[in-house]
Amino acid sequence: MSQTDRRPDRWVILAVICLAQLVVVLDNTILNVAIPSLTRELGATTAQTQWVIGAYSLAQAGLLIAAGGLADRYGRKRVQLIGLALFGIGSLGAMLAGSPGQLIAARAGMGVGGSLLLATSLAIVVRTFEPDEQPKAIAVWSAIASLGFALGPVIGGLLLSRFWWGSVFLVNLPVAALGLAAVARLVPESKDPRGESPDLLGAVLSTAGLVGLVYAVIQGPGNGWTAGSTLISGGLGLLFLLLFTLWERRIEHPLLDMGFFRNARFRGAISGGVLVSFGLGGSLFLLTEHLQFVLGYGPLAAGLRTAPMALTVVLLNLTGFGMRLTMKLGLKPPTAIACGLTMLAAGLASIALLGRHGSYPGILLGLVLMGAGVAVAQPAMAGSMMSSIPPEKAGVGSGLLGTLSELGTSLGVAVLGAVLTAGFAGSLPAGLPHAAGRSLPEALAAAGPQQADQVHSAFANSLTNSQLIGSTAVLLGGFLAAWLLSRAAAQPPAAAETRQAEPAESAR
């Protein structure tokens, strides 16, 4: 395609999509610093504050695959507009909520809107840009996503230092209004030209399965992994996902074509996506604990000290420096993902080993390494995944990528948080109850001044071990993802073409 055939407003469209993406991702973490205010002003219990946080992620992750299929069937622009409207209405309801129950319901509504936005954002980007410009556009898209995730606590802390707790939702309203106007005017409509029948049962099964599984992951650390509610919800979630898989293999027009998973490039990109989210979600959770409980920073100060990671991602991807460096070094997607996840793992290890004694320069080095790793790995992973599926299924691909990112983040927090809790409880001074290991404040209250230093030391050591375990998992997983992608690249062209054709033939 010649330069004159390209959409002249494509970069404006990208800016609009990224702005909507920013606030959706931002709301995953912006409310974390408002928990004390919610407890004090709304009278929320600990369980209710957990649901204020969890309802958003649960609704978002549970609906993403169904939302992607809906977008492919009825139009990605249309679904994006509905998502912006629901997200804005939910934000208004949250801002005006007068009770914890109202706030939880509003947050769930925001999650539904967010799922529609996340399921269409990358699909619209891929359909707007030509293949030669897609890597740069995807790099910008991934940089904004990482920026929102990391800056949530910073923006939340700044707002709460001057305004009431509802201000964290007020900022969403002008963005939603601007997004509605801009998307309606600028974004081109795109959908599956074959006009397939909607897979309603597949949408119900996928939503039920993901909601059950994500609920178990979110509630597991608090209720216990062997608690009845955790086992039942997790078991039902896996059962529904199994039924979803069996159903999708039987019908003519599936919501998610299981043939995609036979593509090694698709599997490798999925693995990379989960690992990036696992490392980011788990590491930021542990780092927040480290900065506040070990180094004694307040919420805003702690949030500001995590900002270098996001700034590194933005510097490398928005300026195009990361992509130019990757191309100059000749890094193909498998190598880029392996290098990126290796840097992410090295950053986690740096924070664990160099920052354990209160050294912020060691933490800073780790954050910069992590940001560089995300900047290299995430665009390569997203590009590999979206290029491994037919263009008419871009919505499902975008939704699946968002689902796995949400699941990876939840798993990172749950798994590394559980490792931290288990290690801390096991290393407490003799005589303290095992239950005191659920948090540092509980342990300090039970220990008293005489054993406070021992408790602090036990917590810091457990935190270091958890970060090193996370670092090892990301490193090994990065090599696995790169190996899967390398296998796909080594396949003969004929085999690759046959596989790519399978989904199209099965839809006829």
**Residue 81 resides in a domain:** yes
Please say whether the beta carbons of 224 and 417 come within 8 A: no
Average pLDDT over residues 155-159: 78
- CA–CA distance, 226 with 220 (Å, rounded to integer): 8
Please indicate, yes or no, whether residues 186 and 266 belong to a single structural domain of this protein: no
**Residue 174 resides in a domain:** yes
What confidence tens digit (pLDDT) does each residue in 185-217 have?
A: 888 787 765 555 667 787 788 888 878 887 787
**Residue 256 resides in a domain:** no
Please indicate, yes or no, whether residues 169 and 317 belong to a single structural domain of this protein: no
Look-up: residue for tokens 């559980």? 418
Predicted pLDDT at 503: 41
Taking 80 as the threshold, does the pLDDT of residue 265 lie above it? no
Q: For residue 32, which of 153, 126, 205, 198 has the smallest C-alpha distance? A: 153
**Residue 220 resides in a domain:** yes
Please indicate, yes or no, whether residues 207 and 153 belong to a single structural domain of this protein: no
**Residue 395 resides in a domain:** yes
Please indicate, yes or no, whether residues 15 and 75 belong to a single structural domain of this protein: yes
* Type of residue found at 168: V
* Highest mean pLDDT pick, 34-38, 235-239, 355-359, 421-425: 235-239
CATH number for 288: 1.20.1250.20
Please indicate, yes or no, whether residues 422 and 277 belong to a single structural domain of this protein: yes
Please say whether the beta carbons of 224 and 80 come within 8 A: no
Q: What are phi and psi of 133, to 5 degrees?
A: -100, -10
Average pLDDT over residues 231-239: 89
Proportion of the chain in helix, strand, coil states, percent, rounded to 5? 85, 0, 15
**Residue 257 resides in a domain:** no
Mean pLDDT, the chain, rounded, equals 76
Phi-psi region of 130 (alpha: psi -120 to 50; beta: other; left: phi over 0): beta
Predicted pLDDT at 337: 77
Q: Which of 147, 166, 191 marks a domain boundary?
A: 191
Under the banding of pLDDT at 50, 70 and 90, the label for residue 488 is low
**Counted domains in the chain:** 3
Please say whether the beta carbons of 38 and 100 come within 8 A: yes
- CA–CA distance, 431 with 425 (Å, rounded to integer): 12
Please indicate, yes or no, whether residues 160 and 183 belong to a single structural domain of this protein: yes
Under the banding of pLDDT at 50, 70 and 90, the label for residue 358 is low
What confidence tens digit (pLDDT) does each residue in 92-108 have?
A: 998 888 888 888 899 98
Please indicate, yes or no, whether residues 161 and 245 belong to a single structural domain of this protein: no
Please indicate, yes or no, whether residues 160 and 205 belong to a single structural domain of this protein: no
Please indicate, yes or no, whether residues 469 and 497 belong to a single structural domain of this protein: yes
Task: Quickly count: other Cβ atoms within 10 Å of residue 226's Cβ.
Answer: 8
Collapse the DSSP code of 359 into the 3-class scheme (helix H, G, I; strand E, B; otherwise coil) and give the result. Answer: coil
Q: Looking at residue 192, what DSSP letter applies?
A: -
**Residue 289 resides in a domain:** yes
- CA–CA distance, 290 with 417 (Å, rounded to integer): 12
- Of residues 220 and 241, the one with the higher pLDDT is 241
Look-up: residue for tokens 């997983």? 477
Taking 50 as the threshold, does the pLDDT of residue 2 lie above it? no
Average pLDDT over residues 297-321: 76
Please indicate, yes or no, whether residues 449 and 494 belong to a single structural domain of this protein: yes
Please indicate, yes or no, whether residues 373 and 479 belong to a single structural domain of this protein: yes
Please say whether the beta carbons of 69 and 403 come within 8 A: no
Predicted pLDDT at 35: 66
**Residue 255 resides in a domain:** no
Please indicate, yes or no, whether residues 236 and 315 belong to a single structural domain of this protein: no
Domain extent at residue 215: 200-250
Predicted pLDDT at 45: 67
Please say whether the beta carbons of 469 and 415 come within 8 A: no
Phi-psi region of 257 (alpha: psi -120 to 50; beta: other; left: phi over 0): beta
Handedness of CA 499, 501, 504, 508 (dihedral sign): negative
Q: Which of 167, 191, 215 marks a domain boundary?
A: 191
Please say whether the beta carbons of 276 and 481 come within 8 A: no
